[in-house]
Amino acid sequence: MSDRLAVLPQYLLPKQALTQLMGKLAGLEGGSATTAVIRWFIQRYKVNMSEALEADPAAYKSFNQFFTRPLRPGVRPLADADWVCPVDGAISQLGRITGAAGDQIFQAKGHHYSTQALVGGDAALAAQFAHGHFATIYLSPRDYHRIHMPCAGRLLRMIYVPGDLFSVNPTTARGVPGLFARNERVVCVFEGDDGRPWVNVLVGATIVGSMATVWHGIVNPPRPGTVREWAYHDRELRLARGAEMGRFLLGSTVVLLFPPG
């Protein structure tokens, strides 16, 4: 079956309604019923609970608590490097931002999308990454779903961009043009210690109940259908390399943007 045919049902599903319903269910505290769902999920996706701070599935009051579980201290030591991976997951794509204008990000075979579309239409922001580099990292259901700082940085802006809620698995990435620039997303703009910008984009997906950051809390819902922005230029909001910066409540993918060099 071709990838385009495989993703056809996603065009027909009521993705927003399904996501809202699953978000509510994931937040319910259902006692033994919640524990049973968590146990099924652990077995189905082979989740390694030995890494979790709390390994007992019955300790989690809701599925969301389990899904955003913290890890035991020391199980993710930081590499001795200027940049570290911000999430557990698989790097699905990595490379230079190409094209005549230096604004094209490779998604999958036959598909590119623009940096301007990814960041919600802000041409000035996108221009800072012309001919730079990107990394796309996919989190599977079994992964740890908190997001950490790949390097130290000062928060400048956060932009909520409304969009679709397609799945972000590899098959969908191959079958849906411009997937990461059409799904709902939260764009976090930082300034590194060298004074240069970098961006971490949190991409939503089907049944991703919400995305949250440590400085704001839950960003969505609400889902007003319009771009929203928060500015932090006048605040000294700095996060260290490896510090937690956010989390997915179900889902998803992050896309990092770096300037040239």
Summarised one tens digit per residue, pLDDT across range 206-253 is 665 588 999 999 898 777 888 999 999 888 899 999 999 999 887 689
pLDDT score for 16: 61
pLDDT score for 182: 86
Strongest mean pLDDT among 115-129, 163-177, 208-222: 115-129
Task: Count Cβ atoms within 10 A of the Cβ of residue 40 and give its class: 0-12 exposed, 13-18 middle, 19 or more buried.
Answer: exposed
Mean pLDDT lowest among 1-5, 90-94, 254-258? 1-5
For residue 105, the surrounding DSSP H or E stretch is: strand 104-108
Residue type, 139: L
Catalytically active residues are: 88, 148, 252
